Structure 1
Amino acid sequence: MKTTRLLALAPLALLLTPAAAVAMPAEAPTAINAAAGTGARPVMHVSDVTSQGSAHRTALLQAYTDCLIEAGAPTIDPDAEARPVPAENMSPTYGVTLAWPPPADARAACASVDPVYPPALEAATNPTFAAQAQTYVACLADHGEHVRLLNDENLDWTYRAGYDVPDDNAAIEDACLLGTFGSD
């Protein structure tokens, strides 16, 4: 009952004090409402996760890296001993390399630009995933790469014992992935 009365008085309060209503600062955006405000996080395509990667994947991950650096995530001293890091951890914008893993507060601040793994490649977001996963495994076997899935949720797999791994396994995996799940 009190809530109803207060809501009914809200327009009256705005009429009586319009300057105060306009001058009130908006709530500071958080990672959660920033992500909700933009609609959705960027989504990777199946073609982005092949062995060759893609310019799209690199752009998405470098935008995330730049955001993490802007949010205060530590970077690797450029004068430190060289060590291998993924290209996406290097920021051409800032000329530094992101130290991994970034702190939780930086990850939270950049949640809206953290790319989503291709929905087609996970059971939770693809209703035909189970059948497609079996088609993918069969395709690999047809090309001499014998594997077994480790779970029903995604495409994590391991090689089957007793079979050699083909020299062109990356090309086989890419062709079967794109042939089974498409490029989007």
Structure 2
Amino acid sequence: MTNAPRRLGLAALTLFATVLAGCGGEKSDAGGTADVASLATGSAAPSASATAAAAAAGRPQLRLDMNEDEKQRLWNAYNYCLRDHGVREIKERSAATPKGSGMISLDQSGEPKAAYVACADKLPLQPPELDEEKNPNYVIQWNDYVQCLRGRGMKIHSLPDGSGWTYDDGVADPSGGLDGAALSKAEHECTMEAFGGR
């Protein structure tokens, strides 16, 4: 059995961002798109790192303790901004989202690029605990997270480069019976246990 590796946008967060952004990528911090520096006015263009840092400074920050409604409001603001700046909404898929959620499904071509530039300051940042560069305990906590999922019956292991986890090969049911809502719940609880200090 070949299974795609899972990356720590931690599926609960990754799945949430994927559903809201309508993307198929694993890096939820980018919502399926590359980080885009904001446009600058003036005669000299600032460096890409300077504009990326400026955009990140004003971006909404997700927290581990946020409830789904709070996260959804932030992702909706970003997605509506993209739509309002010309990213095509896939109306038939938007119509299939939960009533009253405000979620929309967008085309994932990455066009028009100007929309992503205009909305860069609305793209939510993942919680700092899940950022290896900001969290000095990330590697230990990541291993605790994987062990937590294993403790719930999942037959998984960390990838050698530390970029995520994958199902064990040769196991009849590597998910341990966890899928859909049960998997999202387990991942959220293990995220809070390993990264949230609970």
Task: Give TM-score, length-normalised by structure 1.
Answer: 0.61
Partner of 1:69: 83
Q: Distance in 1 between matches of 2:78 and 2:139?
A: 31
2:79–2:104 CA contact under 8 A, matched in 1: no
Query: Amino acid of the residue matched to residue 55 of structure 1?
Result: D
State the structure with more CA Rg.
1
Query: Amino acid of the residue matched to residue 176 of structure 2?
Result: P
User: SS where residue 112 of structure 1 aligns?
Assistant: helix
In the alignment, which of 161, 167, 170 is matched to residue 177 of structure 2?
167
Unmatched tracts of structure 2, length 5 or more:
1-40
Q: Distance in 1 between matches of 2:69 and 2:105?
A: 19
Q: Distance in 2 between matches of 1:68 and 1:46?
A: 25
RMSD: 3.8
In the alignment, which of 34, 48, 61 is matched to residue 43 of structure 1?
61
Partner of 1:139: 148
Q: Distance in 2 between matches of 1:167 and 1:37?
A: 41
Partner of 1:121: 130
Which one scores higher on RCO, CA 8 angstroms, separation ≥ 6? 2
Q: How does 1:88-127 map to 2 (within 5 A)?
A: 92=102, 97-103=105-111, 104-127=113-136
Query: Amino acid of the residue matched to residue 160 of structure 1?
Result: D
> Which structure shows the bigger proportion of residues in helix conformation?
1
2:61–2:125 CA contact under 8 A, matched in 1: yes
Gap change, CA 1:40 and 1:152, over 3 Å in 2:
farther
In the alignment, which of 139, 151, 169 is matched to residue 130 of structure 1?
139
Q: Distance in 1 between matches of 2:95 and 2:162?
A: 28
1:47–1:54 CA contact under 8 A, matched in 2: no
Q: Distance in 1 between matches of 2:172 and 2:51?
A: 50
- 1:65-91 CA-to-partner distances (Å, cap 9, x unmatched) read 121122222233x4xxx3478959x99
Gap change, CA 1:177 and 1:91, over 3 Å in 2:
closer
User: SS where residue 58 of structure 2 aligns?
Assistant: coil
1:68–1:102 CA contact under 8 A, matched in 2: no
Q: Distance in 1 between matches of 2:134 and 2:55?
A: 22
Q: Distance in 2 between matches of 1:38 and 1:55?
A: 22
Q: Does 1:150 align with 2:175?
A: no
Give the superposition deviation at 1:46: 2.8
Percent identity between the aligned chains? 29
1:119–1:126 CA contact under 8 A, matched in 2: yes
Give the superposition deviation at 1:176: 1.3
